[in-house]
Structure 1
Amino acid sequence: MTVPVAPAARDALVARLRRAGCVWAEDEIRLLVEAAGSPEALAGLVERRATGEPLEYLLGWAEFCGERIGVEPGVFVPRTRTALLVSAAAAVTGPAATVVELCCGSGAVTRALARRLAAPRLLAAVDLDPAAAACARRNLAALAVPVFAGDLFDPLPAAWRGGLDLVVANAPYVPTAAIALMPPESRDHEALTAVDGGPDGLTVLRRLAVAGASWLAPGGHLVVEVGEAQVDELRTVLTEAGLAPTVVRDGDLGAVAITARRPAAVAGGPDEN
C-alpha cells in the first residue's frame, strides 16, 4: 500500500536526498513511497538512503533488462551497463545451448538470458558468496535453475567439462587500489569479493580464461564484462588460453564485453579435450 504523503512533506523528503547527493531524488522518493508501509517506515527508508545505503537494498529489488531482480544487503546490485553482457552472450549462442553463469550475484544475467535464448537445455549459476547464491536461488526458482555456491567451476559436475556452449560472467574487475574511488554505496555496502579484481583487476578473469577453455565445448563461448583499460591485456590472456576473443562495445551504456570462442574441433581429427 502506498503511503499518502502531502506535497510539502514530499518536497522535504526530496530535499533531504538532494542534500545527500542523490541525483535522481524525485524518482527515488517515488519508489520509496511505494515501498514503505507507513509514514514511520518511509522516514526510516529516506534516512537510510540519505546516509548512503543503496536504493536497491531498501526497495528489495533492482531493475535489470526489463525485470525486477530481488537483491539483498551485501549482494552485488546488477548494473544497467551489464545489459551489454547479456546481448553479447545471446548473440553468440545458438538454440538448445548449455549455459552457465559464473560470479552470478543475484542471478540477473541468467534471468535475462533465459528469456532471450531459444530452448536452452541447461542453465546453471555459481557464486563464491553463499549469500549471493541464496539470493540467486530465489530469483531463479521459477526457472528451476540450479545455483551452486563455490569458486568458479569448482562446484560444477565434472561431467559438464568440455560440454558448455556458453559461460558468461560479470566477474570482479575493479583494481584493488581503485575501490577507494568507487561510490560509497557500492564500496561500503556490496561484498568486496564481488568487486575486487586484484592489483590490475584481472586476477579472477585470468583464472576464468585458463579454466574456461577446458569447460567449453568446441565452438563454445566465454563472455565477460571488463573495463576499457583492461581490454588489451585480457585479450592477450584469452588468446594464450587458446580462445579467440572479440571485443564488443556500447558507448551509450559505457560498457565493454569480450566474447571468446573455443575453436571447433577439426573435422576428422581428435577432440581437443
Structure 2
Amino acid sequence: MKKYYLILIMLACFSAAFSQEVTKTNEVAFQAGEQITYKLKYGIFTAAEAVIKVENSPVKFNNHPALHIFADAKTAGTFNLLFKVRNKYETFIDPHTLMPYYYSEQRQEGSYKHSDKVTFDHDNGVITADKGKFPFKGNVFDFLSAYYFARNIDVSKLKTGDKLNMRYFLEDGIHTMTITFIGREQVKCGLGTFNCLKFNPTIIPGRIFRKNSKLYLWITDDKNRIPVKAHVELVVGSLVMDLTQASGLKYPLNPVKK
C-alpha cells in the first residue's frame, strides 16, 4: 500500500472497536435511508468531506438480499490545489450478519489513481481482488463494512485498557489494526455534545504520521454507535474529523442537554 493517506485516516476513524472476540448485538443499529456527513478539519480549515449512505440493494448475492453502502470522500477549498482527493467506495453486506459480499473503490489522490473490485467468499474463505486471491479465516471486512459491523458490537463488558483487533482487506492484502478502549467521556461535535465511548487505534508511522502520533475516536454511547469526532496528530499539525449531519437514523440522536 503506497498512497492511501485519506483512506487510512478514515479507516482508523470509522472502523475502530471491532474484534473477533467481542459479541455482535442482536438488533442492527442502522437502517436503509441513513446518511451521515463528516468534515475533516486541518486547524481552522476544512480539508475534506465524507458522505456515507445506506440503501436497500436491488442486487442480490446468491439469492440473498443485501444493503448497499457507499461513501464519497473529497478534499475541499485550497486543499484541492495542494493534494486533490476524489474517492468513492461502496460495499454490499448481508443485512443480518453484516458480512460483506462485494466491495469496490475508485481513488484519485493527487496524481495517484487506484481502483479495486473485491469479492468475499465466506463459505470457502477466499477474497478475490484485482491483485489476486487471498485466503482468510474468521471475519474479514472492507473498511466500510467494518465500520457498520463495529457499530453493532456489544460493548457492555469493555474495560478501560482493553485491546481489540480489527482485520480488514485493503488493496494488497489483509491487515490488522489494534484498538485500545480508553473509557467514556462527553465530547462536542457539530451536532451537539454527546456521551461517548473513547478509543485509541494504533497508527503506523509514515509520511504523514509521526512515530508517536496519537489517534483518538469518540463514538456515541447509545444504540446508534456513530463516530462523532476523531483527532489524529500529523507530522505537521493535526486533523479533526467532525460529524456535521445525520439523517434517516434508526434511533434518535440524544445530545446532552446543558
Query: Which structure's CA Rg is the greater one?
Result: 1
- Structure number with higher relative contact order (C-alpha < 8 Å, ≥ 6 residues apart): 2
**The two structures share one fold, judged by TM-score above 0.5:** no
When the two structures are superposed, what TM-score results if normalisation uses the length of structure 1?
0.29
The structure with the greater share of residues assigned to helix is 1
When the two structures are superposed, what TM-score results if normalisation uses the length of structure 2?
0.30
The structure with the greater share of residues assigned to strand is 2
